[in-house]
Amino acid sequence: MDKMWAGRFEKALDKQADDFNSSIHFDKKMYKQDIRGSLEHALMLSSCGIISQGEYEKIAEGLTSILDDLNNGALAFDENAEDIHMFVEAELTKRIGDAGKRLHTARSRNDQVALDLRLYMRDEAGKIILMLKELISALSEQAEKNQKSIMPGYTHLQRAQPITFAHHLLAYCMMLMRDVTRLEDAIKRMNYSPLGSCALAGTTYPTNRDMVAKALSFDGICLNSIDGVSDRDYCVELEGAFSLIMMHLSRLSEEIILWSSWEFKFIELDDSYTTGSSIMPQKKNPDMAELVRGKTGRVYGDLMATLTMLKGIPLAYNKDMQEDKEAIFDATETVQKCIEVFIPMIRTMKALPENMYNAAKRGFINATDLADYLTKKGLPFRSAYKIVGTIVGECIKKNITLDEMSLEEYKAHSDIFDSDLYNEISLESCVAKRISRGSTGYESVGEQLKYVAEFLK
Ligand code: ARG
């Protein structure tokens, strides 16, 4: 196929160089956005008297028929085209003749691609927001059901203090809610139309950029045409937000993997989200969670690739920037696929509160409460802390838990101890006594559940 820019050249582009240069095999993803942008651009050109009404009508008809044919498979992408923009324009001219050649007036591929990518990413990020909300809802449903499920809370992966499974899951709800607002913020910042920036310096035609921006639901235009065609900071920002989503999913994945092990057995994943082994008949592997954890690295990689691609290029457009798309498409798809599989995996996951409770009984996770008991009876916290430390040491030697130690033995450490201590250190009361806002206490968890529900409304 003759290049659109062939006029200036004496020789055709080398075949290998042509393939290397071409981006249609990935930017064809944006064909809907490309056509939508072109339709609005053409309408603006005609309303500003830059092309005639008749020409606009032909263009609109042609573009719509191309869109339909691509949608229903009647038209295939020409993989020899340089990119999606060239492909659509060439196809248009093939269909409607000379009017098609007027579409690119007062426009360059530089602002066109910048527009398409913003439109595309606005849609995809919007989808991710909806998916995240569904995941938050799945997590909070599990939390709702597990408000009384007591488990060990950990620090350093050492049993630390009793918490409820609901409290633990709600922590992830909070993280994912921030991920939602992070995406909303990024969309707000990127929602300005670069179209009309042209190659870099603007145009001599009496265009109306605001009209196109409004029609495409942007909040305004990129006010500096060089900036409009040059920056991909919105890609970096989205990839940053995607990376944080993946980081959160990866941590939860790690916990799901641990919790499903025989060592923990806090949960049982549904058969439909686990796999077996080709040799070990007993195995039930949490592959989905492992894959999500593994794919996190890809998304970080996409972020790094885009940042690195951008760091050394002078203004305005450089071909390096064509590399933005594969990175952000990969990050987008990866995040979407991960959330998609996560939602039903969480929904169908079965909590095993009895095992959680048994784990909570060991590990002296009520030791802080025992120290608090002494403190509330007048002992300074540090002294109480020391006494309880010694008691824990004694329990370890005797291989008993704190509630298995007799009052007599307690009294040997301090005569402040009384029989009411046993109630104080029961796991249920350790949780119930947590009255600070945000804590694992029942009322606080109720407040958190309400907060999440309010967010999802
Ligand atoms: N395929 C190109 C890209 O993705 C479109 C812009 C080309 N502009 C240019 N001046 N060569 O970046």
- pLDDT, one tens digit per residue, over 45-74 is 999 999 999 999 999 999 999 999 999 999
* CA atoms within a 13 Å half-sphere pointing along the CA-CB vector of 267: 27
pTM of the model: 0.94
Task: Calculate the CA dihedral of residues 242, 246, 249, 254 and round it to 10 degrees.
Answer: -170
C-alpha 266/C-alpha 168 separation (Å) is: 12
**Residue-wise over 31-49: b if at least 16 C-beta within 10 A, else e?**
bebbbbbbbbbbbbbbeee
Q: How many residues does the chain have?
A: 457
Q: Is 44 in the pocket of ligand 1 (CB under 6 A)?
A: no
Ligand 1, from 84, 107, 110, 111: best to mutate by most atoms within 8 Å of Cβ?
A: 110
Radius of gyration for the chain, computed over Cα atoms and rounded to the nearest angstrom: 31
Q: Quick one: pLDDT at residue 279?
A: 76
How far apart, in whole angstroms, are the C-alpha atoms of residue 198 and residue 224? 11
> In this structure, which topology does domain 6-105 adopt according to CATH?
Fumarase C; Chain B, domain 1 (1.10.275)
- Phi first, then psi, for residue 153 (nearest 5°) are -90, 145
Q: How far is CA 101 from the centre of its chain?
A: 41
Phi (first) and psi of residue 426, to 5 degrees: -65, 145
Q: Specify whether the CB–CB gap between 180 and 384 falls below 8 A.
A: no
Contact 273, 345 (CB under 8 A): yes
* Ligand 1 binding pocket includes 120 (Cβ within 6 Å): no
Among 168, 176, 169, 214, smallest CA distance to 195 is for: 214
Q: Which helix (H) or strand (E) holds 155?
A: strand 150-155
The rounded distance, in Å, linking the Cα atoms of 164 and 169 is 9
Q: What is residue 1's predicted lDDT score, i.e. its pLDDT?
A: 59
Name residue 150's beta-bridge partners: 164
328 lines ligand 1 (CB under 6 A): no
- Which of the residues 156, 272, 278, 419 is marked catalytic? 156
CA-CA distance, 93 to 96, in Å (whole number)? 5
**314's torsion region: left (phi>0), alpha (psi -120 to 50) or beta?**
beta
Q: For 237-383, where are the E strands, in sequence order?
A: 267-268, 350-351
Separation of alpha carbons 328 and 308, rounded Å: 13
Q: Which H or E run includes 181?
A: helix 165-190
pLDDT at 238: 98
Catalytic entry in 47, 52, 217, 277:
277
Please say if 46 is a catalytic residue.
no
CB atoms within 10 A of CB 294: 12
Where in the chain is CATH 1.20.200.10? 110-207+217-356
The DSSP symbol for 6 reads G
Tokens for 362? 């060991």
Query: What's the pLDDT at 284?
Result: 85
- Reported CATH class of domain 110-207+217-356: mainly alpha
Domain 363-448 has CATH 1.10.40.30: yes
CB contact set of 231 (below 8 Å; sequence gap of 6+): none
Both structure tokens of 143: 């939390």
Task: Report how far residue 357's alpha carbon sits from residue 266's, in angstroms, rounded to the nearest whole number.
Answer: 9
Task: Compute the Cα dihedral for 409, 411, 413, 418 and give only its sign.
Answer: positive
Q: Is 385 exposed, middle or buried (CB count within 10 Å of its CB: 0-12, 13-18, 19+)?
A: middle
108 is catalytic: no
Q: Is the CB of 113 under 6 A from ligand 1?
A: yes
d(CA 218, CA 314): 27
- Protein residue closest via CA to atom 4 of ligand 1: 322
Ligand 1 centre to CA of 348 (Å) is: 45
For residue 193, list its beta bridge partners. Answer: 221
Parts of the chain belonging to CATH 1.10.275.10: 6-105
Residue type at 409 in one-letter notation: E
Which residue ranges in the chain fall short of pLDDT 70?
1
Picking from 134, 142, 133, 130, the residue whose alpha carbon sits closest to that of residue 255 is: 142
CB 123 within 8 A of CB 151: no
Which of ligand 1's atoms lies nearest the C-alpha of 82? Answer: 1
Collapsing DSSP to helix, strand or coil, 400 comes out as coil
Tell me what pLDDT residue 194 has: 98
